Amino acid sequence: MIDSAPDLQKIANDLLQADGYAPISVAETRSFIGNGASVFVEKMCGARGVPKNSEPQYIDAFLKAYQSAFDLTDPYPGVRSALEKLKAQNHKLGICTNKPIGPCRAVLSHLKLIEFFDAIIGGDSLPVRKPDPATLFAAFDILQGDVFVYVGDSEVDAETAQRAKIPFLLFTEGYRKTSVDQIPHTAPFAHFRELEGLIAQF
């Protein structure tokens, strides 16, 4: 739904360069995304040879900066229009992310998207995170619907949907690391203007 890689790259490089390490690239940044902030930092540190015993302080500093890291983050094209149309059709919308709940709510508020969502589950909202389907089920309990469809952009999202046994719509222009045909999905889409039509099929 949003491309936060530029902000994540900036946080990472501010921390790395402050200690004399080389910055990470956009491609590296995108490849580290998907399993939560702590895993992102572990991969970042591993890629630049930061000692393992220094990782906890990097994670703490990263999470602190993450709370207000949204100046470089934008929704993907068509997201706002898609959300407006789905809400107008009385669909209940939720978010299930591995991003910590604080930064998640902060960026949604900054982008004026938070009002579209009836449920928001972050990576630290439960003792587990995606691909554990408990995260989706927690959102479903709030939404109280009859038919659920999960929209995501990664292998982690696909596995989460599979384990929850629900349809999965794959946004192909996000943070996936493998080819579309290697990711289990019900239907793919490359632009959010396609989402309304796909949802109407369920």
- The pLDDT tens digits of the residues spanning 52-69 come to 999 999 999 999 999 988
**Position 171 in a domain:** yes
- pLDDT tens track for 76-126: 999 999 999 999 999 999 999 999 999 999 999 999 999 999 999 999 999
Which domain-ending residue is among 66, 99, 119? 66
Non-local CB neighbours of 76 within 8 Å, separated by 6+ positions: 1, 2, 3, 171, 173, 174, 192
- For residue 28, give the nearest of 9, 52, 51, 42 by alpha carbon: 9
Q: Is pLDDT above 90 for 198?
A: yes
Structural domain for 97, as ranges = 76-199
Percent of the chain with pLDDT over 90: 97
The predicted structure's pLDDT at residue 34: 87
Q: How is residue 74 written in tokens?
A: 């934008």
Residues 107 and 154 in one domain: yes
Please tell me the distance from the alpha carbon of residue 151 to that of residue 95, in angstroms, as a whole number. 9
DSSP annotation of 85 reads H
Closest CA relative to residue 122, chosen from 149, 94, 148 = 94
Check: CB of residue 109 under 8 Å from CB of residue 163: no
Domain count, the chain: 2
For residue 116, what is the domain's CATH number? 3.40.50.1000
- Integer Cα distance of 77 and 49 in angstroms: 36
Residues in the chain: 202
Average pLDDT over residues 158-180: 97
pLDDT tens per residue, range 121-155 = 999 999 999 999 999 999 999 999 999 999 999 99
Q: By three-state DSSP, how is residue 151 classified?
A: strand
Q: Which residue has the tokens 């449920």?
A: 119
How far is Cα of residue 128 from the mean position of the Cα atoms in its chain? Answer: 15
Burial string for 93-107 (b: 16+ CB within 10 Å, else e) reads bbbbbbbbeebbbbb
Q: In angstroms, rounded to a whole number, what is the distance separating the alpha carbons of residues 164 and 91?
A: 20
Q: Does residue 71 form part of some domain?
A: no
Is 48 a domain residue?
A: yes
